Amino acid sequence: MEFITLDAQDYETALKEARTEYGPSVRVHTRNDYQIRKGMKKQRRCTITFYLVKERSLDEETLQDHLDSSQETGKSETKERNERIEPGDSPNLIDFPIESREHQQQLLKELLEENDFAEGYIQEAIPILCADRQFETLEELEMGLLEYIIEGVTINHGQYTKPKQFFVLLGPTGVGKTTTLVKMALFYQKSLYEKEEEKVALLSLDSYRTGATNQIELFSKDFGLDLFHAHSEEELSELLPTLEGYSLVLVDTMGKSANQGELSLHLKSLLRVLPQERCSCALALSASHKNRDLERFVKLFSTYPLESMVVTKLDETEDIGNVLSVSKSNDLPLLFFTNGQKVPENLLKATNEAILSYLRGFALDLQALSQNQNTSNHTQ
Ligand SMILES: Nc1nc2c(ncn2[C@@H]2O[C@H](COP(=O)(O)OP(=O)(O)O)[C@@H](O)[C@H]2O)c(=O)[nH]1
Ligand SMILES: [Mg+2]
């Protein structure tokens, strides 16, 4: 472990310079604000001492790949800049003491920001984490933060083991609904409905976009999945007796944007035909969206009885904090993650383990921790 010190006109500049040179793995250990005299004037300066944490590789395609590859440390090349401090018999990084409450708050804020947690999430988390508590070491602080993050996660476990008969996936166009539903159909076929009489079907209400029908037809042909289409309430009502013969019907919907009110009304009237008590609606959102966009989409679809959230395209981003923030602030339990275009491979159940594998910037060995995770998430 090595420490690097850097001096600049103020703390923000010092941190910016450190990050420009060493990237996002910079963690400030101490800061020293001081003043120097320049002629008659006093000038503020700040020296920071920082270290670098391991970066996680994000090229993986499956959770196992994630777990395996996180062993390969992304060793940053650390060049000497200014003066370098090598503490005596360099203790383990995680044993480093946290000096003050401000230092503690600063470390928590940096870790949360690095993982792209929403401003609101951070503002709520820090006072709770710091209430009556001074973490003594970095290990304690990181453990406290992980506990907070994981405790705040809700997962719709029931939908894995006892899914409702109709599962409707809503969400913006292009987010990956159709692809994800096909992955889910194959997941359920393999894990839950293996017997011949337990069949899984796809139902497409996605009839408005050119090309959309073709895509789902190709999938259904490639993977031998039964596919049905309904364009109107009458057609759907006529189909219902046939659909009742399936253990699970995964319903694909057309996209929706703010000015597509008519499509939305049409979709709502179609969905009303399905048996409500056996119907579960989920919202698909892309992890590569910014916090604000995620919140906007949740609002846009809030008139549907959403029971869970499916997060797509985790392979296109390095952060999961945005998704965890929106899930928490809207009480939307997580269900599945997708991390690539490959069908059916790139689908993961939303587990504590998967979430830990996507967090970064921690000095703790998250891989080892994720293996110890049991299913302690809140269940809904
Ligand atoms: N990188 C990446 N692409 C995905 C993922 N899921 C879906 N896609 C791609 O996103 C595009 C839109 O997917 P589609 O299922 O048609 O979205 P829909 O409009 O919501 O039904 C397609 O090119 C998919 O292959 C994912 O997890 N990662
Ligand atoms: Mg689609």
pLDDT tens digits, 209-263: 555 568 889 999 999 999 999 988 999 999 999 999 999 999 999 754 444 566 6
Q: Report the pLDDT value the prediction gives residue 266, as an integer from 0 to 100.
A: 80
Q: Report the pLDDT value the prediction gives residue 356, as an integer from 0 to 100.
A: 93
**Partners of 253 in the β-ladder:** 205
Q: Report the pLDDT value the prediction gives residue 264, as an integer from 0 to 100.
A: 77
Q: Report the pLDDT value the prediction gives residue 210, as an integer from 0 to 100.
A: 53
Question: Could you tell me the pLDDT band of residue 273, with boundaries at 50, 70 and 90?
Answer: very high
**Partners of 306 in the β-ladder:** 281
Ligand 2 being an ion, which residues bring their Cβ within 5 A of it? 177-178
Output the CA torsion 139→141→143→149 (10° steps). Answer: -150
Burial class of residue 61, CB neighbours in 10 A (0-12, 13-18, 19+): middle
Q: Choose one of 214, 312, 317, 358 to mutate for the ligand 1 pocket test, by most ligand atoms within 8 angstroms of C-beta.
A: 312
CA 122, CA 127: separation in Å to the nearest integer?
9
Across 19-43, average pLDDT: 80
Angle formed at CA 75 by CA 74 and CA 76, multiple of 5 degrees: 110
Asked if omega into 344 is within 30° of 0 (cis), the reply is yes
CA 53, CA 233: separation in Å to the nearest integer?
56
Atom of ligand 1 nearest to the CA of 284: 20
List pLDDT tens digits, range 166-192.
Answer: 999 999 989 999 999 999 999 999 988
Name the CATH architecture for the domain at 154-379: 3-Layer(aba) Sandwich (3.40)
List pLDDT tens digits, range 64-86.
Answer: 343 333 333 333 333 333 333 34
If you average pLDDT over each of 50-59, 92-101, 147-156, which comes out highest? 147-156
Q: Which helix (H) or strand (E) holds 283?
A: strand 279-286
Spell out the domain ranges in the chain: 1-52, 154-379
Q: Choose one of 62, 341, 343, 346 to mutate for the ligand 1 pocket test, by most ligand atoms within 8 angstroms of C-beta.
A: 341
Sequence-distant (≥ 6) Cβ neighbours of residue 41 within 8 angstroms: none
Instruction: Report the pocket of ligand 1 as residue ranges, CB < 6 Å.
Output: 171, 173-179, 215, 255, 312-313, 315-316, 338-341, 346
Output the CA torsion 68→73→74→76 (10° steps). Answer: 180
Q: Report the pLDDT value the prediction gives residue 16, as an integer from 0 to 100.
A: 86
CA 120, CA 321: separation in Å to the nearest integer?
12
% of the chain residues with pLDDT over 90: 52
Q: Which of the 8 DSSP states describes residue 4?
A: E
Ligand number nearest to the C-alpha of 172: 1
Q: Between 326 and 300, name the one with better pLDDT.
A: 326
